[in-house]
Amino acid sequence: MKSFKQYISEEKIRYDSLPADGVPFVPRSHEYRFSADGTGSGRESTWGDFPKSPNDTLKTGLFAAEPKHAAPYSMPRDIRWLRTDAKKGSKGRSKLFISSDHYKRLLKHRTVASHYDDKDFSQTGRGEHFASGENVRPTKQVIHNDPLAILRMHHIVRPVRNLDAKKKSFIANDVPHEAEGQFF
């Protein structure tokens, strides 16, 4: 018999903003660039200043992750965030920092969670999971009206006035962290 934890780890989740008409959609596959050293991945249009290399590879497919790692993507994609590792006593929840200016937007945002079978995905070098191909379909979809509740299930959410200053502080003090969005 499988434990609850084993059952949970057998699915991957992807969050997307719910369209204005309120009807969920099946996320489409896109072409993604993967850096040769495994430190970066993304769609060409959102690659930003990340250095490109002739050794990068292009793959068509879809990203998803375990619920904890997918949770920040329940926010609108233009909201930048920083995440630090979980500390002792935090019940396994990491800290997630977002701009206090975006906090109110979160309360109005609706998102759809697309759940996928784990067998369709393989882990990339950065801990993300990627399914190659164009025919990956969710096993179920759930609409969420409160992404903040999703975030709080997995993270300690901290709004900050100056996210750029927080990231600079992390870098200056060698604080391990992940970041999403353009900084500085």
- Between residues 179 and 98, the one the model is more confident about: 98
- Between residues 15 and 92, the one the model is more confident about: 15
Mean pLDDT of 56-61: 75
What pLDDT does residue 25 have?
74
Lookup result for tokens 């509740």:
149
Q: Do residues 130 and 61 touch, judged by C-beta distance below 8 A? A: yes
Q: How far apart are CA 62 and CA 29, in angstroms?
A: 5
Mean pLDDT of 168-173: 94
- Report the side by side order of strands in the sheet with 11-17: 11-17, 111-117, 140-144
Q: Which long-range contacts (CB under 8 A, 24 or more apart) does 165-174 make?
A: 166/82, 166/97, 167/82, 170/82, 170/84
> pTM, whole model, 2 decimals?
0.72
What pLDDT does residue 71 have?
84
Q: For residue 145, what are its two tokens?
A: 């009206």
Q: How far apart are CA 156 and CA 161, in angstroms?
A: 16
Nearest to 57 by CA among 30, 29, 35: 35
Each residue's pLDDT tens digit, 75-94: 888 888 999 887 766 677 88
Q: How confident is the model at residue 170 (pLDDT cuts 50, 70, 90)?
A: very high
Per-residue pLDDT for 6 more than 50? no
What pLDDT does residue 52 have?
66
Each residue's pLDDT tens digit, 125-140: 656 788 887 778 888 8
Q: Mean pLDDT in the chain?
A: 79
